[in-house]
Amino acid sequence: MQTIYDFHGLQFNGEKKSLQDYSGKVLLIVNTASKCVFTPQFKSLEKLYQTYKDRGFEILAFPSNDFGEQEPMTGLQLETFCRIQQQVTFPVFKRVHVVGDYCDPLFKFLADKRLNGQVNVKPVWNFHKYLVNKEGQVVDYFYSVTSPQAKRLTTKIEKLINT
């Protein structure tokens, strides 16, 4: 069976970043947008990242314009928004499609139980979250309304970090 380590993300400089580089870490993969009611979650995601990053945790953000055209930015403008305006230090990749005909292969995998063995839920809006264990297996998902500080999310992260 595949794992997320079989995929890559495109960095803002255009280089491919293998998700194998995150092997052995607990991951939260999030589709983001800059003009969304959930955009304030960037601050909560950063706080979550700072809390657990030294314990083997990473957040991987994939901006998407698939829902309400709420991510109009690309390239340097988008990178500047994430790094300077939102002050995120976790990895943010180039904008991708997370649903539809042009869906990025990673998000096809994350959303299809036939491929990932566990989760069968596509993102329905921005800031949908997928939780991945240290072996690169998708273990859970959280809808956009779930705050990055939600106890049910942090409890699962801590459990995965400690196993």
Longest dimension (CA), the chain: 39
Residue 115 and residue 99: Cα distance in Å, rounded? Answer: 15
Residues 6+ apart with CB under 8 A from 59: 27, 28, 29, 30, 45, 48, 49, 90, 91
| Options 36, 60, 78, 119, the catalytic residue | 36
Query: Is 103 tagged catalytic?
Result: no
User: Which segments of 45-113 are extended strands (E)?
Assistant: 57-63
Active site residues per annotation:
36
